[in-house]
Amino acid sequence: MLELYVARHGQDVDNQNGILNGHRDEPLTPLGEEQARTVAGEIRTAGLRFDHVYASPLQRAFKTAEIIARESGQPEPIKEDLLIERDFGVMTGEPISRIEELCAPDIIKTDTITYFLDPEGGETFPHVLERAVKLLASLRSKHTDGKILLVTHGDLGKMLYAYFYDLPWQQVLTDFHFGNSEILYLAEGADLKKTRLFTSTQFNQ
């Protein structure tokens, strides 16, 4: 059976400063590096051994993958372009605090985040869902079983979860918060109540 573990990157400079990053390529903060080391410790304690590690090419994700791999004894990460964050279009670099002002009514609000749905020049969630489909097809063509770690970003991670478990993407946006360095578990027949791994109040950016 193929088991996928989808990790979000640690906190980066844009997360810290309340800026919408998208394809911006800012580094991890010291807290972000600590988050990656912490989840690596959780992985080590759980006895998880990954057969392959793939990561988004953006440095906040790839550095997270490198830290996790080094600290928990995993294979070196491989860059996978399909794991890159959603393209935020004109919202790239805007303050998170202005999402509602700039994008309403095309938004979905939760207790922790406000999602903008149709940014000019960017990807919609259905577009990101299509990318998730391509990624999973590619992985399944290469690997029929084993454990694979995917280090990615919040929006793509949620669309992977939505497609894998055949859930409406709108529902997945509102069902839970996917914080920095948290991990989602994707496997056939999994109990959805047990698919969020190593969650912590420190992983909340």
Catalytic residues: 9, 85
- Write 158-164 long-range contacts (CB < 8 A, 24+): 159/125, 159/128, 159/129, 159/131, 159/132, 160/4, 160/6, 160/132, 160/135, 160/136, 160/184, 160/186, 161/6, 161/186, 161/195, 162/129, 162/132, 163/129, 163/132, 163/133, 163/136, 164/4, 164/136
Cα distance between residue 141 and residue 145, in whole Å: 11
- Residue in the structure block whose two tokens are 């903060």: 29
Amino acid found at 4: L
What are the start-end ranges of the H helices in 87-153? 99-103, 125-142
